[in-house]
A and B are shown apart, each in its own frame.
Chain A
Amino acid sequence: MKPNSFVLSVAAVVAMSFAGATVATAKTTLEIVKERGHLRCQVGPASPGFYNLDAKGNWYGSDVSICQAVAAAIFGSKTKLEIQSVSSQVRFTALANGESDMLSRTATWTLLRDTQLGLDFTAVNFYDGQGFMVPKDSGITSAMQLKGATVCVLTGTTTELNLADFSRVNNMNIKPVTFEDSNVRNDTYLQGGCDALTNDKSGLASNKAAFPNPGDHIVLPETISKEPLAPAVRQGDAQWFDIVKWTVYTLINAEELGVNKANVDKMRSTSTNASVRRMLGVEGNLNEGLGLSKDWAYNIIKEVGNYGEIYEAYMGGGKLGIGISRAGSANDLWTKGGLMYAPPFR
Chain B
Amino acid sequence: MSMVKHEKTAPRDAPLSETTFIGWLQKNLFSSWINTILTIISIYIIYSVSKSLLIWGVLDAVWVAENRRECFAISKHGACWAGVLIWFDNIFYGRFPRDQIWRVNLGGLLLVLWMAPLWLPRVKDKIFIGLSTVFLYPFLAGYLFAGGDKGIFMQVMTTGAIVCLIGNTVHSILGMTSGRSLPEYLIAVLGKEKASDGNQRNTLLAILAVAYVVVYALQMGWTVMAVPWSKWGGMHLTLVISGIGITSALPGGIILALGRRSRLPVIRVLSVSFIEIFRSVPLITVLFMATTMFPLFMPEGFVLNKLVQVIIAVCLFSACYMAETVRAGLQAIPKGQYEAAHTIGLGYWGMMAFVVMPQALKHMIPNIVGSFIGLLKDTTLVSIIGLFDLLGMLRAISQDIPWRGLHHEPLIFGAALFFVICFAMSKYSRHLEVKLSAGEKH
State the A residues within 8 Å of B (CB): 1-4, 6-7, 10-11, 14-25, 44-48, 52-58, 82-87, 89-90, 93-94, 97-99, 180-183, 186, 206, 209-212, 319-322
Contact = CB atoms under 8 A, between A and B. Distances in A.
Contacts of A7: 312, 316
Contacts of A186: 405
Interface string B364-394: 0000000000000000000111111000110
B386 A3 contact: no
Nearest to B308: A20
A17 B385 contact: no
A80 to B, nearest CB: 12
Given A18-B146, A18-B307, A90-B386, A3 B301 contact: no
A167 to B, nearest CB: 27
Contacts of A89: 288, 291-292
B433 interface: no
Nearest to A190: B405
A160 to B, nearest CB: 17
Nearest to A11: B312
A7 B274 CA distance: 11
Nearest to A22: B303
Interface stretch (B35-43, B94-102, B195-203): B94-102
A182 to B, nearest CB: 8
Nearest to A83: B230
Contact of B386 (A19, A44, A48, A97): A44
Instruction: From B86, B384, B401, name the one whose CB has the most chain A CB atoms within 10 angstroms.
Output: B401
B304 A21 contact: yes
Nearest to A88: B386
A24 B404 contact: no
B385 A97 contact: no
B255 interface: yes
A85 B389 CA distance: 12
A23 B302 CA distance: 5
Given A17-B138, A23-B303, A83-B230, 7 more contacts: A6-B251, A20-B307, A46-B399, A53-B393, A57-B233, A97-B295, A206-B404
5 contacts: A19-B151, A84-B305, A98-B303, A210-B68, A319-B401
Interface of B: 68, 72, 76, 86-87, 89-90, 93-96, 98, 138-139, 142, 146, 148, 151, 153-154, 228-231, 233, 244, 248, 251-252, 255-256, 258-259, 267, 270-271, 274, 288, 291-292, 295, 301-308, 311-312, 315-316, 319, 383-388, 392-393, 395-396, 398-402, 404-405, 407
A219 B93 CA distance: 38
A29 to B, nearest CB: 13
Instruction: From A14, A52, A89, name the one whose CB has the most chain B CB atoms within 10 angstroms.
Output: A14
Contacts of A1: 255, 258-259
Which 8 residue pairs of A and B lie closest in terms of their CB atoms, listed nearest first? A87-B386, A210-B404, A46-B399, A210-B405, A57-B95, A20-B305, A183-B407, A86-B386
Instruction: From A46, A212, A320, A322, name the one whose CB has the most chain B CB atoms within 10 angstroms.
Output: A46
Given A17-B139, A55-B90, A24 B301 contact: yes
Contacts of A57: 89-90, 93-96, 98, 231, 233
B373 to A, nearest CB: 22
A216 B281 CA distance: 45
A14 B315 contact: yes
Nearest to B403: A55
A21 B258 CA distance: 32
A344 B98 CA distance: 42
A98 B72 CA distance: 45
A297 B306 CA distance: 32
Contacts of B252: 6, 10
B229 A18 contact: yes
Contacts of A19: 146, 148, 151
A151 B135 CA distance: 53
Given A23-B301, A52-B401, A56-B89, A15 B308 contact: yes
Given A55-B400, A210-B405, A10 B301 contact: no
Instruction: From A7, A20, A52, A57, name the one whose CB has the most chain B CB atoms within 10 angstroms.
Output: A57
Nearest to B312: A11
A52 B399 contact: yes
B321 to A, nearest CB: 14
A139 to B, nearest CB: 25
A75 to B, nearest CB: 16
B271 A15 contact: no
Nearest to B226: A19
Contacts of A17: 138-139, 142, 146, 154
A330 B80 CA distance: 37
A32 to B, nearest CB: 11
A23 B299 CA distance: 10
A17 B68 CA distance: 41
Nearest to B398: A183
A56 B98 contact: yes
A53 B94 CA distance: 10
Contacts of B72: 212
B83 to A, nearest CB: 8
Contacts of B311: 14
B388 A211 contact: no
B142 A18 contact: yes
